[in-house]
């Protein structure tokens, strides 16, 4: 079966999760000897087809309309449902992003399809697919079968590897009748920190109660900026009002899986581990050698983070000075 | 303004997950709570009611014990509670829940439907959007601030690296995010009062639904446990030496600097 991927874009830019979904879509299509078809929805975005081509798409379905320049659930759902019906798509992958999480279930219900959310792996044998997804905050993994002919899944960000593969994508412009949405996006407020988005970041430096006071985050930010990292926070400090909810990593915050997670002054409550337990490398800096986080860290540094981090910044700078 | 809040009873966040001999999630000896995101939805509904008047109804789909979750919401200040309990919902998935909730809602008079942004157990975050589609209503998910005026909602929806400010015409389905409010603790007097309040229990038959109508579209075939992380190296001692080892590791092993 051909694999359809919703190539999410915002503001004329494809996000990393879209490229991961394309890469995974290509792998699935290769294993079944089928075609990868990207669905690109928006306005004035035809240039993105070239970028999609780098990830091995065989075809790009391009739906452009002024009414699609901003994401609205109802218009985008109409386009995607229309594509699925007209092109007889039976496997559709999206990113498990704020857009994907909003769009996929709306479309799935429209066409009465089974949807696997937050998928972390796919098992293929012949035409059969099983989807793996974490439940109970990652304490258990469910192996899921979709029983409807049309199967949909949203893929966890930062989980499926990126793989460039030159494509030969033909671009096919499509159009469909759009409903008048009953919601209206009045404004998009971008929080400019200059740092990467938590769920997409390669490196995250996170702070917890061990920072002592809100101002302690300055040191976390300095370390994050030196590494080009995103800044995360534990529930305790978000609840205390030191950081906004947007920064919380954990079961009631964001689930992240960076290459490197540096936990500073975080004890590692089960609810925090649920959000970062699949990071490739965990470094913990904590005064308390018995803290939970020290049991799961690849590198556990028992020490005062107010001594360790400044020394880390100093040595990192020296290293970069010697090896520019 | 009449508000319906869809809630779910979930495992406590600290609960350990084990399987029964048949390979299902073992629910015995687990502490149950109202899904934390749904509690924010109930709180938001109560605040709107206090401002605008009207009634708040909480609805859930679950077993007999889910009535406890509804009573917690009644103690918080909700006016009515509905439990849909039917053995035919044993294998229910997000679609099944949305079908049942939509059927309950179709017979009700409401201006707004509130939900939590996801449940902390299955965490599919599908029910609010599926429900909105079934009821042909607009939806706004992951809302961290909500303002209602003249039959319109203005919501702040959290997205990656920012916020979308969205207007919607009511009725609409809105799912809420942590941070939208601080949840009240009901007093002992209200808890006692809620114990005497009725919980209306409905079966699928009462809703004129068949097993076929609520048949799940996904099935869990097996549960697997993730490999526990191994304890790594512990570095302690003089700070400059420790940091030097850390930097070496990050450069040579993790290759991030």
Is there a contact between B166 and A184 if contact means CB atoms under 8 Å apart? Answer: yes
CATH architecture observed for domain A3-174: 3-Layer(aba) Sandwich (3.40)
**Cα–Cα dist B169/B148, whole Å:** 10
The whole-angstrom distance between A170's CA and the closest CA on chain B is 31
pLDDT in tens, B32-46: 999 999 999 999 999
Domain residue ranges of chain B, discontinuous segments joined by +: 3-207
Q: How far is CA B83 from CA B49, B90, B198, in A?
A: 22, 15, 11
Is there a contact between A116 and B219 if contact means CB atoms under 8 Å apart? Answer: no
Other CB atoms within 10 A of residue A132 CB? 17
Pairing of the two strands B152-159 and B139-149: antiparallel
User: Of A118, A138, A185, which has the smallest distance from its Cβ to B166's Cβ?
Assistant: A185
pLDDT value at residue B141? 98
Handedness of CA B212, A79, A121, A30 (dihedral sign): positive
| pTM score of the predicted model | 0.95
Is there a contact between A245 and B242 if contact means CB atoms under 8 Å apart? Answer: no
C-beta contacts of B189-196 below 8 A and 24+ residues apart? B190/B75, B190/B76, B190/B77, B191/B75, B193/B75, B194/B71, B194/B72, B194/B74, B194/B75, B195/B71
**Taking a contact as any Cβ pair under 8 Å apart, which residues of chain A between 146 and 185 contact chain B?**
146-148, 181-185
Q: Quick check: B257 contacting A, CB < 8 Å? A: yes
Measured between beta carbons, the chain A residues lying within 8 angstroms of B113 are: none
**Cα–Cα dist A302/A204, whole Å:** 19
Asked whether the beta carbons of B37 and B178 are under 8 A apart, the reply is yes
pLDDT in tens, A1-53: 799 999 999 999 999 999 999 999 999 999 989 999 999 999 999 999 999 99
The whole-angstrom distance between B198's CA and the closest CA on chain A is 31
pLDDT in tens, B111-153: 999 999 999 999 999 999 999 999 999 999 999 999 999 999 9
pLDDT value at residue A42? 98
Q: Quick check: B225 contacting A, CB < 8 Å? A: yes
Q: Quick check: A102 contacting B, CB < 8 Å? A: yes
Is there a contact between B236 and A301 if contact means CB atoms under 8 Å apart? Answer: yes
How many CB pairs (< 8 A) connect A and B?
259
Measured between beta carbons, the chain A residues lying within 8 angstroms of B169 are: 182
The whole-angstrom distance between B152's CA and the closest CA on chain A is 10
Pairing of the two strands A91-95 and A3-6: parallel
Measured between beta carbons, the chain A residues lying within 8 angstroms of B129 are: 73, 102, 104-106, 109
User: Quick one: average pLDDT of A78-94?
Assistant: 96
User: Of A98, A251, A296, which has the smallest distance from its Cβ to B160's Cβ?
Assistant: A98
Is residue A100's pLDDT more than 90? yes
Other CB atoms within 10 A of residue A295 CB? 16
Closest CA to B180 of B162, B157, B148: B157
The whole-angstrom distance between A168's CA and the closest CA on chain B is 31
User: Quick one: average pLDDT of A72-91?
Assistant: 97
Query: E-strand spans in B171-211?
Result: 173-176, 200-202
Q: What is the mean pLDDT of chain A?
A: 95
pLDDT value at residue A159? 93
**Cα–Cα dist A300/A294, whole Å:** 5
The whole-angstrom distance between B193's CA and the closest CA on chain A is 30
ipTM metric: 0.96
Tell me the CATH number of domain A198-322, given options 3.30.465.10, 3.40.50.880, 3.40.50.1220, 3.30.230.70.
3.40.50.1220
The CATH code of domain B3-207 reads: 3.40.50.620
Is there a contact between B179 and A244 if contact means CB atoms under 8 Å apart? Answer: yes
Handedness of CA A80, A135, B224, A284 (dihedral sign): positive
Asked whether the beta carbons of B92 and B204 are under 8 A apart, the reply is no
User: Quick one: average pLDDT of A249-264?
Assistant: 94
Q: Which helix (H) or strand (E) holds A219?
A: helix A217-227
Q: Which of A60-64, A163-167, A247-251 has the highest mean pLDDT?
A: A60-64
pLDDT value at residue B157? 98
pLDDT band at A270 (very low <50, low <70, confident <90, very high): confident
Rounded average pLDDT per 10-residue block, chain B, 257 residues: 98 90 92 97 98 97 97 98 97 98 97 97 97 98 96 96 96 97 96 97 98 98 92 92 95 89
Measured between beta carbons, the chain A residues lying within 8 angstroms of B179 are: 238, 244-245
pLDDT value at residue A195? 93
CATH 3.40.50.1220-classified regions of chain A:
198-322
Closest CA to A285 of A269, A306, A271: A306
Handedness of CA B83, B89, B91, B95 (dihedral sign): negative
Measured between beta carbons, the chain A residues lying within 8 angstroms of B234 are: 289, 294, 300-302
Q: How far is CA B77 from CA A2, A49, B60, B72, B174, in A?
A: 52, 53, 16, 9, 20
pLDDT value at residue A167? 80
Most B CBs within 10 A among A17, A80, A97, A136, hence the mutation to make, goes to A136
């Amino acid at each position: 079966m051909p694999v359809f991927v919703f190539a999410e874009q915002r503001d004329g830019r494809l996000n990393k999760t879209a490229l991961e979904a394309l890469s995974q879509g290509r792998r699935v299509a290769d294993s079944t000897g089928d075609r990868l078809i990207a669905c690109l929805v928006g306005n004035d975005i035809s240039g993105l087809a070239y970028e999609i081509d780098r990830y091995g798409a065989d075809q790009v379905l391009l739906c452009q309309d002024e009414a699609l320049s901003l994401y609205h659930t109802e218009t985008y759902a109409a386009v995607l449902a229309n594509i699925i019906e007209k092109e007889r798509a039976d496997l559709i992958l999206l990113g498990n992003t704020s857009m994907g999480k909003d769009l996929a279930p709306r479309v799935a219900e429209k066409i009465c399809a089974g949807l696997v959310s937050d998928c972390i792996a796919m098992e293929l044998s012949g035409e059969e697919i099983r989807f793996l997804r974490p439940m109970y905050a990652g304490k258990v993994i469910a192996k899921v079968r979709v029983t409807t002919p049309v199967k949909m899944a949203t893929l966890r960000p930062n989980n499926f590897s990126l793989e460039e593969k030159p494509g030969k994508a033909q671009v096919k412009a499509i159009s469909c009748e759009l409903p008048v949405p009953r919601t209206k996006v009045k404004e998009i407020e971008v929080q400019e920190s200059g740092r990467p988005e938590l769920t997409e970041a390669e490196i995250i430096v996170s702070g917890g109660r061990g920072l002592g006071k809100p101002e302690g985050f300055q040191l976390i930010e300095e370390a994050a900026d030196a590494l080009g990292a995103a800044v995360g926070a534990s529930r305790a400090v978000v609840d205390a009002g030191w950081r906004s909810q947007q920064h919380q990593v954990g079961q009631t915050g964001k689930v992240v899986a960076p290459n490197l997670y540096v936990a500073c002054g975080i004890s590692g409550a089960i609810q925090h581990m649920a959000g970062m337990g699949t990071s490739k490398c965990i470094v913990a800096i904590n005064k308390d050698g018995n803290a939970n986080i020290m049991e799961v860290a690849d590198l556990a540094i028992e020490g005062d983070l107010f001594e360790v981090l400044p020394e880390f910044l100093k040595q990192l700078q020296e290293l970069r000075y010697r090896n520019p | 303004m009449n508000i319906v809040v869809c809630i779910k009873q979930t495992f406590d966040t600290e609960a350990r997950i084990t399987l029964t001999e048949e390979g299902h999630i073992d629910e015995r000896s687990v502490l149950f709570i109202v899904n934390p995101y749904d509690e924010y939805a109930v709180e938001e509904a109560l605040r709107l009611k206090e401002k605008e008047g009207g009634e708040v109804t909480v609805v859930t789909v679950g077993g007999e014990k889910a009535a406890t979750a509804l009573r917690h919401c009644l103690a918080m200040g909700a006016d009515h509670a509905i439990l849909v309990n039917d053995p035919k919902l044993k294998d229910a998935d997000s679609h099944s829940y949305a079908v049942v909730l939509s059927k309950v809602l179709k017979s009700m008079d409401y201006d707004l439907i509130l939900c939590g942004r996801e449940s902390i157990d299955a965490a599919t975050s599908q029910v609010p959007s599926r429900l909105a589609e079934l009821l042909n209503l607009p939806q706004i998910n992951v809302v961290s601030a909500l303002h209602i005026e003249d039959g319109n909602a203005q919501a702040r929806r959290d997205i990656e690296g920012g916020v979308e400010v969205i207007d919607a015409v009511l009725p609409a389905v809105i799912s809420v995010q942590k941070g939208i409010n601080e949840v009240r603790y009901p007093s002992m007097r209200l808890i006692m009062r809620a114990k005497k309040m009725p919980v209306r229990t409905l079966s699928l038959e009462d809703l004129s639904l068949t097993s076929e109508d609520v048949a799940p579209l996904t099935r869990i075939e097996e549960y697997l446990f993730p490999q526990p992380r191994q304890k790594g190296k512990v570095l302690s001692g003089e700070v400059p030496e420790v940091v030097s080892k850390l930097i070496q590791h990050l450069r040579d092993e993790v290759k991030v600097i």
